[in-house]
Amino acid sequence: MEKTLVILKPCTVERGLIGEIINRFEKRGLILVGAKMVWLTDEILSEHYAHLSEKPFFQRVKDAMRVCPVIVCCWAGVDAVNVVRTMTGVTNGRQAQPGTIRGDYSVSMQENIIHASDAVETAAVELQRFFKADEIFDYTPTLLSNLYAKDEYSGI
């Protein structure tokens, strides 16, 4: 099964939305295979947001991610990256469609509830950045046959 990274940002933690957001992924049928609360360092944020390093808002983004601890999660499922990205909605909460996480909980470009990996390759790099190998668990939930047809999840 494909795995992807989700970070519940400080705005989510501060607003008490952790359970609601996790619940949405669980209800959709994604499988939580890793989760922890961490206080992100400037070093890890500089690495994670390196693609924004030349932008004028780079430091502001890093500062916002250090307001309080975050929740980092690894979700698994068939096409997990695309499923999570679709559920998340566009980056700007004001433009996100109702029914998406950002569309339902955000009115900000920065305080937009969640980070989600944007590609399978990115997810692999990001998961290694935030998790040790023994912090992600491979197991077959008993409910798997209620989520997928057998030919959708072969090889698990």
Active-site residues, by number, are 115
User: What are residue 38's phi and psi, to 5 degrees?
Assistant: -140, 150
Burial (Cβ within 10 Å: 0-12, 13-18, ≥19) of residue 127: buried
d(CA 57, CA 22): 28
Q: Which residue has the tokens 């790099």?
A: 125
Given a contact cutoff of 8 angstroms between Cβ atoms, the answer to whether 78 and 145 are in contact is no
Indicate the SS3 state at residue 32: strand
